[in-house]
Amino acid sequence: MSGFVKVVEVGPRDGLQNEPQALPVAARVELVEQLADTGLRHIEAGAFVSPRWVPQMADSGEVLRRLGRRPGVRFSALVPNQQGLEAALAAGCEEVAVFAAASEAFSQRNINCSIADSLRRFEPVLALARERGVRVRGYVSCVLDCPYGGPVAPQRAGEVAQRLYELGCYEISLGDTLGKGTPDATARLVEHCAERLPLAALAGHFHDTFGMAVANVHAALQAGVRTFDSSLAGLGGCPYSPGASGNVATEDVLHLLHGMGYATGVDLPAVARLGTAISQRLGRPNASRAGRALAAAGGERHP
């Protein structure tokens, strides 16, 4: 196989926000800059959410301001509403992300409104972002399973993804929030979504709760997806599933992609070293199998 695959690093946001220990602003800035030094060009650096509910993301505006701009690198942030977008704009953010759910039960329990209402709330957010020249990425959570409602039909996930795309999101990240997905289910999901919006606008976001994340990345690759979210050292976790091991590790995704002949522009051994360092700082195990192996071997090797 050959071709380029985009890797979106979500560790500094989706990863750190689920870690018990909150890092100071300087450490978060240093982490993002070090990730950019490895060749990662799309990095989610923060979230403009209530620090009362997500204290790990407090001062995201300061993080974005200190990062400044790097040619060819996009630092993005999650925004839940127009107030969050305005704070992101004030910090000089050039790309933001909004989120919806494919499960009605999850939407009600998570943000206290229906899926339809959540999408309507994003209309002014997307309009303001368009006016200010800021790109918007969309997340759809619980695309395969819901902690409250069980399995989610791929058609339902496709409908929400289509609506976000129609609202103006340039890319839609399909999130297996519980990590219960399997390769067959992933392939069906991509197939249904690709009937509603361009395949090039789809991204995969897999959690590794049941050890299926890399297999699901492979299945999505085979179905034509060429953008994947991942988190350094598997940072993060799923707060809705006890024992969830979190996001798929960037090191594991890179190992798969490079081994299959895809280009990413990312230095895997450098990412592995960062994964070891951040895991030690947070006092947690490194969830990346490839990262642990590379750290022990001292480099990247393929047969």
Residues annotated catalytic, as ranges:
238
> Which stretch of DSSP H or E encloses residue 161?
helix 154-167
Report the candidate in 257, 247, 259 with the shortest Cα–Cα distance to residue 225.
257
Q: Give the SS3 label for residue 298.
A: coil
Report residue 59 as tokens. Answer: 């001062």
CA geometry: angle 214, 219, 221, nearest 5 deg: 95
Distances from the Cα of 163 to the Cα of 78, 95, 115, 168, 283, angstroms: 18, 19, 11, 9, 41
Q: What is the DSSP letter of 56?
A: G
CA geometry: angle 288, 138, 245, nearest 5 deg: 25
Cβ contact 195:158 at 8 Å: yes
Q: Give the SS3 label for residue 59.
A: coil
Residues whose CB is less than 8 angstroms from the CB of residue 85 and which lie 6 or more positions away in sequence, other chains included: 48, 79, 96, 125, 128, 129, 134
Tell how strand 135-141 and strand 145-146 pair up: unpaired
Residues whose CB is less than 8 angstroms from the CB of residue 293 and which lie 6 or more positions away in sequence, other chains included: none
